[in-house]
Amino acid sequence: MKTIRRLALSAALSLSAPPADACTRLLYETGTKSYMVGRSMDWMVDPNTDLWAFPKGMARDGAVPQGAIRWTAKHGSVISSFYNLATVDGMNDAGLVANVLYLVESEYGDPAASKKPKLSIGAWAQYVLDNFGTVAEAVTALRKEPFAIVAPDLPDGHKAGGHMAVADATGDSAIFEYLGGKLVIHHGAQYRVMTNSPSYDQQLAINTYWNTVGGLQFLPGTARAADRFARISWNLNAAAKEADPRLATATTFSLIRAISVPLGIADPEQPNIASTVWRTVSDTAAKRYYFESAYNPAIFWVDLEKILPAAGGKPVKLDLSGRPMLSGEVSESFVAAEPFKFISR
């Protein structure tokens, strides 16, 4: 117990570093043993997110001037963009879900010192969605580190650093982090929650401590990442596993809303505390991608079977600028568009 408390204290003290967002990701098991992924995007400003549907067969590259990795998408996907410079959230036609959350401790090493092909951090999640149908496939391939990540600054000046959670239709899960230039992978269905700082091993230590306290007695209540990790972990374990698809979706949304930060709550001195600007729920069984803007009192979604372009077709985009009021299935609102370019130096 003393060891757990020392680890928890050490990790908590490390939170003085100022990460730039406070996102949360969870993996919910339904009563029919299917799985849904809920995610919140918290940011100091609106990151100008749009929704995109990309076809399989699409030629891609790592979006760096020299030595970029190249691939052809094996899967189609629906994604949420970030400043239209990065894929930060999405699901592919196999039900694989990728969520990128900010992690200030991220260190990718010096890409110039590597002989490996290069990949923009903005394309990291898209590479996974394009190439893999299961978590196991992604872990096996990425463990070989087939690329070196290039991570330039974001348009707002923040360091572009993040860790990635991946889940599939079987409930398998993995967390990928680059720490000290080394790739660290936590692979297993037990890794159902991810927030931000500190690194994932320290988050697990903090959560172990709170498990000894007991959620019915006390749960930490701030918007800091370690507190959110402990709170959503307890709520997720306590939530009913609903068999009805509509109730299962509602439960996933209720969990991610409960951990969200209200609009107007922000602290310029603590950028890790920022308002939630949108939420997503990915239904890996129904292949349905839900989106909820914090600025509108409505939910909309797309069914991947309806929206994904045919193999080799053109990408389509749902323009969310101006915060349009949308609800229900919105596949018909997407229009053909040239794909955005991933952030590069």
Q: What are the phi and psi torsion angles at 212 (to 5°)?
A: -75, -25
What letter would DSSP give residue 15? G
**By C-alpha distance, which of 215, 227, 218, 209 is closest to 273?**
227
The structure tokens 């992690």 sit at: 103
- Dist CA 271 CA 277 (whole Å): 14
Catalytic residues: 23
Q: What are the phi and psi torsion angles at 3 (to 5°)?
A: -65, -45
Residue 184 burial class via C-beta count within 10 angstroms: exposed 0-12, middle 13-18, buried 19 and up: middle
C-alpha separations of 214 from 206, 235, 237 in Å: 13, 11, 12
Q: What are the phi and psi torsion angles at 270 (to 5°)?
A: -130, 80
- Dist CA 93 CA 258 (whole Å): 29
- Dist CA 120 CA 160 (whole Å): 10
- Maximum distance among all Cα pairs of the chain, rounded to whole angstroms: 58
Contact 299, 289 (CB under 8 A): no
Contact 220, 230 (CB under 8 A): yes
**By C-alpha distance, which of 323, 334, 322, 342 is closest to 78?**
334
Antiparallel, parallel or unpaired: β 328-329 and 59-61: unpaired
CA triple 164-169-170, angle to 5 deg: 100
